[in-house]
């Protein structure tokens, strides 16, 4: 394969196109471009639950980083219950909003490291592999 999984990993984690390494795959904070402005590779995978995956990572992060610590503080009587609930709600919302582009990168990273041969630059080699 032309593009190794390590390349895909470093590219997607720095917010670049996994196929050509072009920086600028984000349309805005919450959305990717439909396809890469440089190599026209399809970036959005809406039909395969792309954004759903991102939101799920957000929930897990919010539970682990915000809700569980707040619960522990409430149980230890170090935090008032209603203050805890407010912190949990505001904290999880902020966390998901601020980390959304990073989580999108993670989903891109997971998707293309697993299916590295789906990249346009690797497709020609896939045919070659199957012939072997």
Please give the backbone phi and psi of residue 31, each rounded to the nearest 5 degrees, phi first: -135, 145
Q: What is the DSSP letter of 17?
A: -
Cα–Cα dist 78/97, whole Å: 27
Measured distance CA(88)–CA(31) in Å, rounded: 25
CB of 15 to Zn ion, least distance (A): 12
Residue 36 interacts with Zn ion (CB under 5 A): yes or no: yes
| Beta carbon nearer to Zn ion, 35 or 55 | 35
Contacting residue, 7, 11, 12, 17, with Zn ion by CB under 5 A = 17
Residues 122, 32: Cα–Cα separation, whole Å: 22
Binds Zn ion by CB under 5 A, chosen from 7, 8, 12, 19: 19
Q: With binding defined as CB under 5 A, does residue 38 bind Zn ion?
A: yes
Residues lying near Zn ion in the complex (CB under 5 A)? 17, 19-20, 22, 36, 38-39, 41
């Amino acid at each position: 394969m032309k593009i190794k999984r390590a390349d895909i990993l470093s590219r997607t984690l720095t917010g670049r196109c996994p196929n050509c390494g072009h920086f600028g795959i984000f349309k805005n904070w919450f959305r990717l471009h439909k396809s890469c402005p440089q190599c026209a590779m399809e970036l959005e995978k809406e039909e395969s639950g792309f954004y759903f995956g991102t939101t799920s990572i957000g929930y897990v992060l919010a539970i682990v980083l915000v809700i569980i610590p707040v619960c522990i503080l409430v149980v230890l009587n170090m935090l008032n219950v209603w203050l805890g609930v407010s912190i949990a709600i505001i904290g999880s919302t902020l966390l998901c909003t601020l980390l959304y582009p990073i989580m999108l990168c993670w989903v891109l990273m997971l998707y293309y490291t697993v299916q590295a041969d789906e990249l346009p630059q690797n497709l020609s080699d896939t045919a070659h592999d199957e012939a072997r």
